[in-house]
């Protein structure tokens, strides 16, 4: 029986969103958390972008060290042979790629302005797949941008060509959030049956259906006999109205009515990490979690009205579909309401030693302490807000990696 896997695209779709952004250290922490949760793959960035190079390289180094394991780290590039060359020049160790090209007539005529036709699109994609293979790519996903507005016969032709040339997955991008659960189910099932390739389901939330469409699309892939790779982002962060929220999608797959009996996760996800991850992403992106966000919103387990409160007190299952501990809530959070010593780009050694002592990090000598402090100061230059405990621990544990992550060299 085919299965469902999760590909998180926070570090690609999330960070490219208007008004949103993460430092390279924060992107790395996201990858660490996704790995801890058991997410199959992180789309960890843009290998053709100069300022990403050292970050991507150092995360691949962490993978080699066994730290970022077993998560798979995949890059996003445009499907052109030239971009593949650049990607492997800047990040030689990259092994997993998604190659993206527009497939709808709207985008082909609207973006290429008559310079490309459908045949050209297929040829560009084939050239890119062949280039990626020749550079040693181990897994290749081919992204059909605006797939939901693409003629289905052309989409099948495009996907068959991708498969024939060695692509492992087709990413069906509902780029504008145009699908509904019925339409995406039908299209994905048709693709699975007619192409016979694993399908990635990439949904946006412009009509508020990203999660529902992701679940329906996954069902379509499996009913058509293929594995489903749902694209998600933490807290749903992504272009415009966002992508499918990873936690909501995981909950929908594992807890919605009768779904799990037939459709299973290929790799278990540890939802008890969800609360921490959602909170970190909210802090790092500086975007508050809405009160009514599923599972992690302030109201997700709050009950005020008489009938609800009475019912929950008698038995939580009366008004709660799952327990708060299942998503990692329930621990007491200590918030200092008095004096606070936190990290900053102008921190000194005394305050720094105090901060690190509180999280039980001790240095072998003052030279080591000063080195780590220097890295923390640089990290603060990038984040522009106090580092969280996990970031401080990361820097203290992997100073060489941190140094690489914090190095930005324009025009080199």
Do 191 and 170 contact (CB within 8 A), yes or no? yes
Could you give the CA distance from residue 143 to residue 8 in angstroms, rounded to a whole number? 15
Exposure string of 382-403, with b = 16+ CB inside 10 Å and e = fewer, is bbeebbbeebbebbbebeebbb
Listed residue (61, 59, 48, 67) closest to 25, CA to CA: 59
Quick one: residue 284, left, alpha or beta (phi over 0 = left, psi -120 to 50 = alpha)?
A: alpha
> Which residue number has the CB closest to Zn ion?
13
Shortest Cβ 204–Zn ion spacing (Å):
6
Per-residue binder mask for Zn ion (CB under 5 A), 227-256, x = binder: ------------------------------
Nearer to Zn ion, 85 or 206 (CB): 206
Strands (E), 188-238: 198-203, 228-232
Q: Which of residues 4-33 bind Zn ion (CB under 5 A)?
A: 13
Nearer to Zn ion, 8 or 13 (CB): 13
Task: Please tell me whether residue 83 binds Zn ion under the rule CB under 5 A.
Answer: no
Nearer to Zn ion, 51 or 240 (CB): 240
Q: Is the dihedral of CA 264, 270, 276, 277 positive or negative?
A: negative
Run of H or E including 167 = none
Shortest Cβ 147–Zn ion spacing (Å):
11
Shortest Cβ 175–Zn ion spacing (Å):
6
The structure tokens listed for 338 are 């008095």
Nearer to Zn ion, 203 or 296 (CB): 203
Shortest Cβ 36–Zn ion spacing (Å):
24
Nearer to Zn ion, 13 or 146 (CB): 13
The structure tokens listed for 25 are 């250290």
Shortest Cβ 176–Zn ion spacing (Å):
10
Site size with Zn ion, rule: CB under 5 A: 1
Nearer to Zn ion, 83 or 146 (CB): 146
Shortest Cβ 265–Zn ion spacing (Å):
22
Could you give the CA distance from residue 360 to residue 377 in angstroms, rounded to a whole number? 19
Given the rule CB under 5 A, which residues bind Zn ion? 13
């Amino acid at each position: 029986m085919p299965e469902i896997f999760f590909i998180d695209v926070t570090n690609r779709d999330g960070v490219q969103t208007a008004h949103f952004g993460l430092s390279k250290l924060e992107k790395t922490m996201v990858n660490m958390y996704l790995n801890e949760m058991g997410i199959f793959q992180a789309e960890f960035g843009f290998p053709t972008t100069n300022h990403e190079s050292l970050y991507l390289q150092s995360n691949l180094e962490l993978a080699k060290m066994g730290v970022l394991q077993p998560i798979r780290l995949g890059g996003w590039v445009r499907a052109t042979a030239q971009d593949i060359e650049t990607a492997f020049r800047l990040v030689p160790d990259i092994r997993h790629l998604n190659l993206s090209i527009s497939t709808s007539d709207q985008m082909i005529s609207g973006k290429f302005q008559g310079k490309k036709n459908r045949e050209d699109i297929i040829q560009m994609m084939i050239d890119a797949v062949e280039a990626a293979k020749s550079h040693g790519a181990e897994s290749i996903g081919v992204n059909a941008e605006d797939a939901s507005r693409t003629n289905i016969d052309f989409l099948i032709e495009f996907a068959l060509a991708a498969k024939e040339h060695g692509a492992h997955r087709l990413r069906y991008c509902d780029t504008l959030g145009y699908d509904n659960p019925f339409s995406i189910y039908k299209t994905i099932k048709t693709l699975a049956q007619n192409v016979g390739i694993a399908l990635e389901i990439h949904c946006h939330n412009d009509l508020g259906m990203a999660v529902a469409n992701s679940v329906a699309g996954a069902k379509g892939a499996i009913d058509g006999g293929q594995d489903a790779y749902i694209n998600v982002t933490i807290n749903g962060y992504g272009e415009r109205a966002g992508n499918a929220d990873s936690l909501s999608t995981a909950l929908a797959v594992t807890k919605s009515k009768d779904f799990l009996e037939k459709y299973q996760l290929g790799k278990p996800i540890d939802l008890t990490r969800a609360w921490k991850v959602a909170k970190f992403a909210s802090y790092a992106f500086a975007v508050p979690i809405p009160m009514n966000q599923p599972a992690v919103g302030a109201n997700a387990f709050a009950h005020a009205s008489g009938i609800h409160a009475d019912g929950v007190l008698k038995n939580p299952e009366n008004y709660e579909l799952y327990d708060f501990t299942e998503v990692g809530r329930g621990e007491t959070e200590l918030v200092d309401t008095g004096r606070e010593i936190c990290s900053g780009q102008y921190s000194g050694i005394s305050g720094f030693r105090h901060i690190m002592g509180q999280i039980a990090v001790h240095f072998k000598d003052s030279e080591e302490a000063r080195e780590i402090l220097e890295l923390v100061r640089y990290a603060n230059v990038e984040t522009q807000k106090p580092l969280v405990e996990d970031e401080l621990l990361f820097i203290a544990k992997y100073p060489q990696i941190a140094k690489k992550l914090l190095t930005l060299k324009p025009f080199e």
